[in-house]
Amino acid sequence: MNSLLSRVETWLEAALSFLYPPVCALCGAARAHAASGLVCSGCRAQVRLVRPPFCERCGLPFEGALTTPFECANCAGVTLHFIRARSAAVAAGVVLEAIHRYKYQRALWLEPFLAGMLIEAAAPVLRAGGWDALVPVPLFPAKEREREFNQAERLARRLGAATGLPVRSHELRRVRATPTQTRFSREQRAANVSGAFAVRPGARFDGQRVVLVDDVFTTGATTSACAAALREAGAGEVCVWTVARGL
């Protein structure tokens, strides 16, 4: 019976798509497909992928030609508890619009678009890197109840399915509610999230190499605070992967 219902639903979806072809969720003009996150090829062409050269520590893209590894001025003299951070795309234009709709308007149909960029950039690196687990950056419980989902956890599960890495989504917790970081300076962001994260009592990451997953990396204050909690719980190394990198 369930199999029959599933086939009927599939036929209905196909018929509706034929009669009313879906359009891009971002531009509202060109045709798009649900499997691609309802983002058309024209909008995808506007995505600015993060390519070398970039800061070896935080992944900040650098405009120009460099032949040797470097760390940007933002990382100089700053204590970061992760070894490196990398992102798939620049947080601008269609990417930033998709993230905002996904997070704040519950536009879950955009998830294949966002997760696809993350998987394409991160999966080959993680498969070859000897990592042990993925840990999504947690939301404060009240915030997660309000939003009804944690975007970092959903993205981590997609990345986990692509890499075979387990997703440990319940060990790291946000134990203190914090104001949004949007309008804070780098120093204010670090102070805002200081002590905001902790590992669940009894949970251990003894010697494990852990990948933190989030949607956007800006100054690294949040992910560094998360990494510090994981290191206190025994993690050997922590790196960060996000869909987008703020400039």
Alpha-carbon 176 to chain mean position: 21
Say which amino acid occupies 9.
E
Q: Could you tell me which residues come within 8 angstroms of residue 106 by beta carbon, excluding any fewer than 6 positions away? A: 147, 148, 149
Within a domain: residue 65?
A: no
Its domain, for residue 184, covers 36-46+82-245
Q: Tell me which residue of 158, 147, 139, 169 sits closest to 103, measured CA to CA.
A: 147
Domain count, the chain: 1
- Answer whether residue 11 is part of any domain: no
pLDDT at 136: 98
Question: Tell me, what CATH number does 40's domain have?
Answer: 3.40.50.2020
140 in a structural domain: yes
For the entire predicted model, the pTM comes to: 0.88
Q: What are the tens digits of pLDDT across the range 149-205?
A: 999 999 999 999 999 999 999 999 999 888 777 777 777 877 878 889 999 999 999
Q: What is the pLDDT of residues 79-104, one digit of tens each?
A: 899 999 999 999 999 999 999 999 99
Other CB atoms within 10 A of residue 49 CB: 13
Contacts of 34 (CB under 8 A, 6+ apart): 22, 109, 112
SS3 for 31?
strand
